[in-house]
Structure 1
Amino acid sequence: MQEQSQPTLARSQHLEGVGGVRIAVDSWGQEDGPVVLFLHGGGQTRHSWKNAGADLAAAGAHAVSADLRGHGDSDWSPDGDYSLAVIRDDIISVLEQLGSPASLVGASMGGLTSLLVSHHRPDLVDRLVLVDVVPRIERSGAERITGFMRSAPQGFADLDEAADAIAAYLPHRRRPRSTDGLRKNLRQRQDGRWHWHWDPAMFTGSAHPDPSEVQAELEDAARALEVPTLLLQGALSDVVSDEGVEHFQSLVPHARVVRLRDAAHTAAADDNDAFTRAVTSFLLNT
């Protein structure tokens, strides 16, 4: 989907997370519209949602997209804590400052965060959209993501080299002719090399909860869901399998599932037309 004329330009600001960490957000549309908060996946930024944010605003929503701590223009965690629990509390703080319950749209790590927010503060959540993430994900797909995020610790000589790395990581997606969009995901340091704009302490920091305990907490949160819930599964995903979807449906029988035929784990970018149609219909037309 081509980016449409926006009713207003994106407004940028910082809101307060926990422990003094500032969370960067963009917003579109009228502030009295129903709030939709977009939360990106690991290694991404709030700019992943710019088309969807503009489209939802044009349909009448107050769309907000946040950089999770350690990503984009949000602060890095001073103590290296990037646990789902502290990210959850950041987003609860953001929702309290927005002053209205919201529909949460979360991809990957942002989706798991949304699930936990819905469990801990159901009063702040109207609807939930999980974008290619469930409590029981495929380990091989998750390891491929973290492997990519931990690659190139010395950065890239130029944006073309970074684009080549992304193309190898996402072979199903056509390599863009222009690399200008990567300037929002990388920063050029004084030595001239380009580095991913996320905190490496996400993999070396202080908080590393037991994975089995985290999964149990996510499953408990799913079982407790009462709000309308939509799961968007990328048909080409190596992170969410059909078995993972079936398990999620056993936990959340009222959940609606939409399979995006031409999308992988990065579903919103892979098939933006189908993604935006599904989200808009679920959030604003039902």
Structure 2
Amino acid sequence: MSGMSAIERQALRGAGVDLAADVTGPVDGQPILFLHGSGQTRQSWGKALIEAARHGFRALSMDLRGHGDSGWSPDGRYDLTVFADDLRAVLAQMDRPPVVVGASLGGIVGMIVAAADPAAIRALVLVDITATVDMEGANEVIAFMNAGSDGFASIEEAAAAVSAYLPHRDKPQSSQGLAKNLRQRGARWYWHWDPAFMTMGVDAKQEAEGPTVLETAARGLTIPTLLIRGGRSRIVTEEGARVFLEMVPHADYVHIDGAHHMVAGDANDAFNDAVFRFADRQVEGSAQDDG
């Protein structure tokens, strides 16, 4: 596709909150919707949005409620039902079902909605998330998020916290990219998510004890599904991936060596290759169905 599309900021309406999104690519292209994980923002997809537009997709990357530039829950609730209701509201505003690419929390929400309403989503890409989460790895994420609850004296101090949490990543030359995820209040810098969101970690632990909402959703998936796992993930183990593929026998699986939980950031090119090989196939398949 020649010529680069500009990225436009768009306001979407969730279930009672306004959601911020970046949109690019041809207006009549097959929509593809990127949903980030806990504590992240729509900026976390690296070059995926631009790459999607290059492939002819109408690409949207959205901040989940309580994150980035999206509204916070007026009642402080952040359970999976609320996120799923937001996604349903957004899907109702789209002219046709999108391919949904969800990392971590975004993937869980996509899986719940896709299982309940398969006609609303064209295909689903789960980025390092399955129906079973390794709690030791999940607790590391929760601990990192909680550690910033009192804020930081400077952007550099926040950058040092990220480097300690992601020691495998090259430290960026500048902390300015990180500034997008922080907001200054008084003399301190805070991650730009609603502190009430952290109560969700408590729900996650309780849910891990019985046959979960997620297992039910996974077994209910009928749409084309791709699981991408970071080879060095502490959230999805190789065993967790195998169990998921038994629950969803029609799913495709891509294992990206060397990538950790935040696969898109750790191995952007390999991640994009896997996503668009799968997504392009869905579009070609639907064109043949129409023809």
Could you say which TM-score interval applies, normalised by the shorter chain? over 0.9
Checking the alignment, whether the CA contact within 8 Å between 1:236 and 1:265 is kept in structure 2 is yes
Q: Which residue of 1 aligns with 2:216?
A: 220
Mapped to 2, the partners of 1:204 and 1:247 lie a distance apart of 28
Q: Which residue of 2 aligns with 1:59?
A: 55
Deviations 1:51-96 (A, max 9, x none): 1011010110001011000000000001111111110110110111
Checking the alignment, whether the CA contact within 8 Å between 2:98 and 2:121 is kept in structure 1 is yes
Q: Which residue of 2 aligns with 1:198?
A: 193
Whether 1:44 and 2:58 are equivalent positions in the alignment is no
- 1:77 is paired with a residue whose SS is coil
Question: Mapping of 1:164-179 within 5 angstroms?
Answer: 164-179=160-175
Whether 1:11 and 2:8 are equivalent positions in the alignment is yes
What is the aligned-residue identity percentage?
Answer: 47
Whether 1:99 and 2:117 are equivalent positions in the alignment is no
Mapped to 1, the partners of 2:125 and 2:140 lie a distance apart of 24
Mapped to 1, the partners of 2:261 and 2:238 lie a distance apart of 13
Mapped to 1, the partners of 2:258 and 2:24 lie a distance apart of 27
Change (3 A) 1:60 1:250: same
Give the structure-2-normalised TM-score.
0.92
Give the structure-1-normalised TM-score.
0.94
Question: Mapping of 1:240-259 within 5 angstroms?
Answer: 240-259=236-255
Change (3 A) 1:6 1:142: farther
Q: Which residue of 2 aligns with 1:109?
A: 105
Q: Which residue of 2 aligns with 1:284?
A: 280
Change (3 A) 1:144 1:6: farther
Q: Which amino acid counterpart does residue 11 of structure 1 have in structure 2?
A: E
RMSD of equivalent CA atoms: 1.8
Mapped to 2, the partners of 1:234 and 1:78 lie a distance apart of 35
Q: Which residue of 2 aligns with 1:267?
A: 263
Mapped to 2, the partners of 1:67 and 1:53 lie a distance apart of 14
Checking the alignment, whether the CA contact within 8 Å between 2:228 and 2:256 is kept in structure 1 is yes
Q: Which residue of 1 aligns with 2:133?
A: 137
For these two proteins, the number of residue pairs brought into alignment is: 280
Mapped to 1, the partners of 2:210 and 2:29 lie a distance apart of 34
Shift of 1:154: 2.0
Unaligned runs of 5+ in 1: none
Checking the alignment, whether the CA contact within 8 Å between 2:17 and 2:65 is kept in structure 1 is yes
